[in-house]
Chains A and B, each alone.
Chain A
Amino acid sequence: KAGVTQTPRYLIKTRGQQVTLSCSPISGHRSVSWYQQTPGQGLQFLFEYFSETQRNKGNFPGRFSGRQFSNSRSEMNVSTLELGDSALYLCASGQGRPYEQYFGPGTRLTVT
Chain B
Amino acid sequence: TQLLEQSPQFLSIQEGENLTVYCNSSSVFSSLQWYRQEPGEGPVLLVTVVTGGEVKKLKRLTFQFGDARKDSSLHITAAQPGDTGLYLCATQYNFNKFYFGSGTKLNVKP
Contacts and interface: CB of A to CB of B under 8 A. Distances in A.
A108 interface: yes
B100 A42 contact: yes
A25 interface: no
* Chain A, interface residues (CB within 8 Å), range: 20 to 34
Contacts of A33: 98
Contacts of B92: 98-99
B-side interface size class: 20 to 34
A69 B103 CA distance: 32
Main secondary structure of the interface of A (DSSP, over half): strand
Q: Which 9 A-B pairs have the closest CB atoms?
A: A103-B42, A98-B31, A43-B100, A42-B102, A45-B98, A103-B43, A105-B42, A106-B42, A90-B42
Interface of B: 30-31, 33, 35, 40-45, 48, 50, 88, 90, 92, 95-103
Interface of A: 4, 33, 35, 42-45, 48, 55-56, 58, 88, 90, 92, 98-106, 108
